[in-house]
Amino acid sequence: MVFEYIKSVILGIVEGITEWLPVSSTGHMILVNEFIHNEGTFTASDLYLYVIQLGAILAVATMFFHKLNPFSPKKSAAQKRGTWQMWFKVIAACIPAAVIGLLLNDFMDNFENWQVVSATLIIYGIAFIIVERLNKKTKITSMNDMTYKTALIIGAFQVLSVVPGTSRSGSTILGGMLVGCSRELAAEFSFFLAIPVMFGVSLLKLITYDGAIARGDIAVLITGMAVSYVVSMFAIKFLMSFVKKHSFTAFGWYRIALGLAVIGWFVFA
């Protein structure tokens, strides 16, 4: 049982880092589970891997609490209206994922294999490099400048993340940049979109889980969530600081390298 806690800590660290950076948490989880020989255990189950995301979501809610809170007494009436409008844009952006994503979710589980993951890692890595080279001007630099149409388009890009290895944050950030958002706004909006989407997916996995969760497994799950929460705080702060001075090109090259590593591991190991 002690080893399950150790694995939960490791997976919580991986989740906390890769959920927010546009590098694909699925791809990393596959590699990590291979390295630690994690098969047939609770920490290898879909329930565990999805529900520890709640810790990552809580990190976003904590770090951006003031910006996300429309009831803050420190905000003026205009600022509160702006916060409500931001939430309405988030909800609008979630519509494609709620409709199309839910319909395809179970079907796409059939493609959760190293071949698909490595391909999407490389494809989206190349996409990041190309978009950064073409993306010379940004027209949208704040949430107030973002229209509902723009939010809906970004939400449509989020649907692409149902393909394993794509990265939810990666697809939404790419979508945001393609419609003219600054890197900072694209990343921030990606964080906010994660709250209803990831909470909904985690809740769905809990509701549809047909097995019994042992008391020891609950403690292991809470451990993973707690680690994911703490690590996510650092990962989010790092990314927001990074994109103020750098492009996403480095993440593109990293995705390509990781995709090749996944191929190398499963072909030659």
Residue 128: predicted pLDDT: 95
Residue pointed to by tokens 């609950």: 218
Percent of the chain with pLDDT over 70: 97
Q: At what angle do helices 2-18 and 25-35 cross, to 10 degrees?
A: 150
DSSP letter for 97, please. I
pLDDT in tens, 52-98: 989 999 999 999 999 999 999 999 999 999 999 999 999 999 998 88
Q: Please check the confidence at residue 37 and state whether its pLDDT lies above 90.
A: no
Total number of domains in the chain: 1
Q: Are 204 and 46 in contact (CB under 8 A)?
A: no
- Residue 163 reports pLDDT greater than 90: no
- The per-residue pLDDT of the chain, averaged, comes to 89
What's the CA gap between 31 and 87, in Å, rounded? 36
pLDDT at 24 (0 to 100): 86
CA 264 – CA 251 distance, rounded (Å): 20
Q: In this model, does residue 105 exceed pLDDT 70?
A: no
Cβ pair 46, 37 in contact under 8 A? no
Q: What DSSP element (H or E) covers 153?
A: helix 148-158
- Convert the pLDDT of each residue in 194-242 to its tens digit: 998 888 878 877 777 776 777 788 999 999 999 999 999 999 999 999 9
How large is the average pLDDT for residues 158-177?
Answer: 90
Question: Tens of pLDDT along 110-121?
Answer: 777 888 889 999
| Full residue range of the structural domain in which residue 17 is found | 2-268
Q: 28-32, 128-132, 208-212: lowest mean pLDDT where?
A: 208-212
Count of all residues that appear for the chain in the document:
269
The long-range contacts involving 75-80, CB below 8 angstroms and separated by at least 24 positions, are: none
Mean pLDDT for 178-188 is: 93
**What was the pLDDT predicted at 138?**
73
Q: Is 23 helix (H, G, I), strand (E, B) or coil?
A: coil
Q: Higher confidence at residue 242 or residue 36?
A: 242
Question: What is the mean pLDDT of the segment spanning 241-263?
Answer: 93
pTM of the model: 0.89
Q: What is the pLDDT of residue 268?
A: 82
